[in-house]
Amino acid sequence: MQPYLIACDLDGSLLNKKSDLSPYTIDVLSHLSRLGHKVVIATGRPFGGAIDLYYKLGINAPMINDNGATIENPMDSKFAKQRTLIPNDIMKDIFTHAKPILKSAFFSIKKTVYAYKYEPKLEEYFAGLATSSNVIECEFTDLDVEPSGLIFLVDTHKKEILENYIKENYNQTISFRLWGAGHKHAIYEIYLKHVSKSSALSYLLDYYNMDQSQLIAFGDGINDIEMIRDAGIGVMMKNGNWELKGVSKDQTKFTNDEDGIARYLVNFFDLNEHFK
């Protein structure tokens, strides 16, 4: 059997509703790794918000973080870490022009969170990363760092100001995702235009000398669209966002809380005798 690169999103996909890996999922993925397949976490979480889960999975493989902006293998010091960052001057410029409509903003580097007007309601985006000891509240214009991406909470009624500014000034460089908009506020992710989970997986396919047809990708959200669209076998979760239906080639029969990915893989690789 030819080896596959198996890319798994975390939240809403590989993780259950407790944001954890089930023993069954760990056993299945570990077994596939021993068979020679490359099992890769591909998540929007920053490194610090995913590393404990990576070690819990216990597989020596690269991990994709920040929706493709970071690729590294914590278990292999010879693997050259890849980071694609938003230039400091662009970060400061977008922050400056968005500041009048910002309710809150943040980004992270490793386990440090940089926040403007720290907003506890956004802690879900830190993926358990934020604590009182590692959040630095500051004006982004005072920083001499480069983030892989930004999260902005803006006034819903003025969100076009942010969208139009990025389109008019950085259309070739920067993109944004609207994660949701309520009556008062809208949540945006701002990232480099050419960066996605798919671009990171393309790098790994080249690294392992594998073809796109050997890529199986699982996801549930809008940040998974590119990798599911581009994978040889792009699979949306049963509980996935409706926008994935137009790009996915298959769907799991079970949700993330029912070991959907693991059960799909058991069936795909005919492992029912091993995992009854």
pLDDT at residue 133, rounded to an integer: 55
**Which positions ≥6 away from 94 have C-beta within 8 Å?**
150, 165, 166, 170, 174, 190
Cα separations in angstroms, 14 against 117, 129, 184, 263:
32, 19, 32, 11
CATH 3.30.1240.10 domain locations along the chain: 88-192
237 or 184, greater pLDDT: 237
Domain 5-83+195-268 listed as CATH 1.10.530.10: no
Q: What is the mean pLDDT of the chain?
A: 92
Tell whether the model's pLDDT for residue 67 goes beyond 70: yes
**Predicted confidence band of residue 201 (pLDDT cuts 50, 70, 90):** very high
Query: Would you place residue 38 in the very low, low, confident or very high pLDDT band (cuts 50, 70, 90)?
Result: very high
Does residue 59 contact residue 34 with C-beta atoms inside 8 Å? Answer: no
Residues 257-276 have pLDDT tens digits of 999 999 999 999 999 888 86
pLDDT band of 110, cuts 50, 70, 90 = confident
pTM: 0.90
SS3 187: strand
Q: DSSP characters for 76-114?
A: -TTSPPEE----HHHHHHHHHHHGGGEEEEEEEETTEEE
Return the pLDDT at 130.
47
The span from the CA of 227 to the CA of 222, in Å, is 10
Does residue 149 carry a pLDDT above 50? Answer: yes
- Is 132 a residue whose pLDDT tops 70? no
How far is residue 264's CA from residue 256's CA, in Å, rounded to a whole number?
11
3-class SS string, 106-164:
EEEECCEEEEECCCHHHHHHHCCCCCCCCEEECCHHHCCCCCCEEEEEEEHHHHHHHHH
Higher pLDDT, residue 232 or 273: 232
In the chain, the percentage of residues whose pLDDT exceeds 70 is 95
- The CATH 3.40.50.1000 portion of the chain extends over 5-83+195-268
Q: What is the pLDDT of residues 73-107, one digit of tens each?
A: 999 999 999 999 999 999 999 999 999 999 999 88
Q: Region 125-153: what's the mean pLDDT?
A: 79
Q: 88-192: which CATH number, 3.30.1240.10, 3.90.1150.10, 3.60.15.10, 3.30.70.920?
A: 3.30.1240.10
The total number of residues written for the chain in this structure: 276
Q: Is the pLDDT of residue 176 over 90?
A: yes
Residue 64: the pLDDT is 97
The predicted structure's pLDDT at residue 17 = 93
For the chain, the farthest-separated pair of C-alpha atoms sits apart, in whole angstroms, at 60
Q: What is the pLDDT of residues 119-130, one digit of tens each?
A: 776 666 555 454
Q: What is the mean pLDDT of residues 144-156?
A: 93
Residue 75 is given by DSSP the state T
